[in-house]
């Protein structure tokens, strides 16, 4: 039998946003690969899983990854999880899946929480199609070009940003559009301090100062053809 | 206190892909809105939730939706779920969220399984950015135009299709591209009969005949700039 690597999802805020299947896979995994020590350890402890684990994150070298691949090949069931949300979406787990496939490891998934989908569910915008941008470039000129590029898309856009930079990026986008854009901003989604802004971008800019530094998900409602909305007339 | 409408996620194949939080919300909901009778009933029964529920699906009229809004406003906690995956992504639940917001109902989310994210986790392609297309048009000429439009995107594309039409659409896309395109096809993901194809579209076309009619998720790997992959060199 092929060795199997399960791609898991972890809570994005509320610790109960974890599936029965994910807990079962963690219990039966011979090898668990987490993102950061503190978060992985906290998650396993909360669910009484008393196992060691390896780490894969932005500090991992190619050698570290090749070593993990060898360990997966020696195991029957391995699992990989990110600190928050679905592994392989804007997190380091993506670096191992291609190599794993090339090495004859079967990938399986226990789907679960994703802040991207959470924000789309909440935003009220039409979600087919939508484009997920990930993070914009940290470099000012490149980011400006990227923003201009995506504003040409006539459909819903989702992006992530750091708690420290999201206000700056929202102000930049607002300065680059003439018209109002419907925007949804979610901060600390699913936690007790969850904040949700529904409105338009020029108005949001006026209150940005009052908002906390917290992990954001931002959705821009660029859909022109509102007749595609499901609402029956 | 504002009435709350929870947007829930249900398993896409494996019945254990449901979160502790989702089960808790279903237990405490005064009002549950499902998509189809059979699926909603099966899910609630499996988890010993003995409550009635309302339906919202493509047969619902505007009057039905307005009636549901009234019921949500009379309830403390309501929840809405689709037959499979995350409510509000390519399913009828999207039709109620905008009206709910306009009526002063608070939306909350208990994030969970989504076949879109499941396929992205499995595909091994770079996932930032990616565009989710939803379903292509059923109308031949329009679909062809849509395919041409999206093939211009130089990043990962994900789309859904029906079990009956996915082979036709994959053949169409293959006929419209000169170069090979890396493709991932997932059928019946997370079930015991899960099938995963990794390869290129021209090769996939040669074996399409041998594949079952099953719910597919298709990912096209159009990313040009592979240097953006996480793999450290």
| Residue A19 with chain B: CB contacts under 8 Å | 16-20, 112-113
The answer to whether A17 contacts B117, with C-beta atoms less than 8 Å apart, is no
The answer to whether A128 contacts B115, with C-beta atoms less than 8 Å apart, is no
| pLDDT at residue number B224 | 66
| pLDDT at residue number A225 | 52
- Of the candidates A7, A16, A196, which has its C-beta nearest B21's C-beta? A16
Does the structure show a pLDDT above 90 at A12? yes
**Strand partners of residue B79:** B6, B32
Contact assessment for residue A126 and residue A220, using Cβ atoms and an 8 Å cutoff: no
Q: Please give the Cα distance from A183 to A74 (Å, whole number).
A: 48
Q: Please give the Cα distance from B99 to B82 (Å, whole number).
A: 18
The pLDDT confidence band at residue A54, using thresholds 50, 70 and 90, is: very high
Question: What pLDDT tens digit does each residue of chain B (233 aa) get?
Answer: 899 999 999 999 999 999 999 999 999 999 999 999 999 999 999 999 999 999 999 899 989 999 999 999 999 999 999 999 988 887 778 889 989 999 999 999 999 999 999 999 999 998 999 999 999 999 999 999 999 999 999 899 999 999 999 999 999 999 999 888 999 999 999 999 999 999 999 999 999 999 999 999 999 999 865 433 444 44
The pLDDT confidence band at residue A231, using thresholds 50, 70 and 90, is: very low
Size of interface A-B (CB pairs under 8 A): 203
| Residue B113 with chain A: CB contacts under 8 Å | 19, 111-112
Minimal CA separation from A38 to chain B, in Å: 22
DSSP string, A13-66: SSTT--BHHHHHHHHH-SEEEESSHHHHHHHHHHTT-----EE-STT--HHHHH
Q: Please give the Cα distance from B227 to B181 (Å, whole number).
A: 18
| pLDDT at residue number A74 | 97
| Residue A117 with chain B: CB contacts under 8 Å | 9, 86, 89, 111, 114, 116-117
The pLDDT confidence band at residue A143, using thresholds 50, 70 and 90, is: very high
Interface of B with A in 37-56 (CB under 8 A): none
**A151 at B interface, C-beta within 8 A:** no
| Residue A9 with chain B: CB contacts under 8 Å | 117
> What are the tens digits of pLDDT across the range A68-120?
999 999 999 999 999 999 888 877 788 899 899 999 999 999 999 999 999 99
| Residue A99 with chain B: CB contacts under 8 Å | 231
| pLDDT at residue number B145 | 96
φ/ψ of residue B91, rounded to 5: -155, 165
The pLDDT confidence band at residue A153, using thresholds 50, 70 and 90, is: very high
Interface of A with B in 156-195 (CB under 8 A): 189-190, 194
Interface of B with A in 77-106 (CB under 8 A): 86-90, 92, 94-95, 97-99, 101
The answer to whether A110 contacts B12, with C-beta atoms less than 8 Å apart, is no
3-state secondary structure chain B: CCCEEEEEEECCCCCCCCEHHHHHHHHHCCEEEECCHHHHHHHHHHCCCCCCCEECCCCCCHHHHHHHHHHHHHCCEEEECCCCEECCCCCCCHHHHHHHHHCCCEEEEECCCCHHHHHHHHHCCCCCCEEEEEECCCCHHHHHHHHHHHHCCCCEEEEECCCCCHHHHHHHHHHCCCCCCEEEEEECCCCCCCEEEEEEHHHHHHHHHHCCCCCEEEEECCCCCHHHCCCCC
**B148 at A interface, C-beta within 8 A:** no
- Of the candidates A20, A124, A131, which has its C-beta nearest B129's C-beta? A131
| Residue A57 with chain B: CB contacts under 8 Å | none
Residues recorded for chain A: 233
Q: Please give the Cα distance from A200 to A71 (Å, whole number).
A: 50
The answer to whether A134 contacts B115, with C-beta atoms less than 8 Å apart, is no
| pLDDT at residue number A224 | 66
């Amino acid at each position: 039998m092929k060795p199997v690597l399960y791609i898991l999802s972890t809570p994005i805020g509320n610790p109960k946003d974890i599936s029965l299947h994910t807990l079962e896979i963690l219990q039966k995994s011979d090898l668990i690969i987490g993102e950061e020590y503190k978060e992985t350890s906290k998650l396993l402890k909360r669910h009484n899983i008393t196992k060691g684990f390896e780490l894969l994150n932005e500090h991992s070298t190619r050698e570290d990854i090749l070593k993990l691949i060898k360990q997966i090949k020696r195991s029957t069931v391995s699992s990989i999880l990110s600190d928050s949300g679905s592994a392989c979406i804007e997190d380091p787990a993506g670096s191992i899946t291609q190599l794993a496939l090339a090495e004859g490891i079967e990938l399986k998934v226990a789907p679960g929480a994703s802040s991207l989908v959470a924000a789309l569910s909440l935003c009220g915008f039409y979600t087919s199609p939508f484009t997920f941008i990930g993070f914009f470039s940290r470099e000012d000129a490149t980011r400006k070009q990227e923003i201009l590029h995506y504003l040409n898309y006539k459909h819903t856009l989702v992006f992530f940003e750091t708690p420290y930079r999201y206000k700056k990026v929202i102000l930049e986008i607002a300065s680059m559009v003439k018209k109002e854009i419907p925007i949804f901003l979610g901060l600390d989604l699913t936690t007790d301090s969850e904040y949700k802004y529904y409105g338009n971008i020029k108005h949001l800019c006026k209150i940005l100062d009052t908002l906390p530094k917290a992990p954001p998900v931002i959705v821009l409602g660029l859909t022109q053809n509102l007749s595609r909305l499901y609402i029956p007339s």
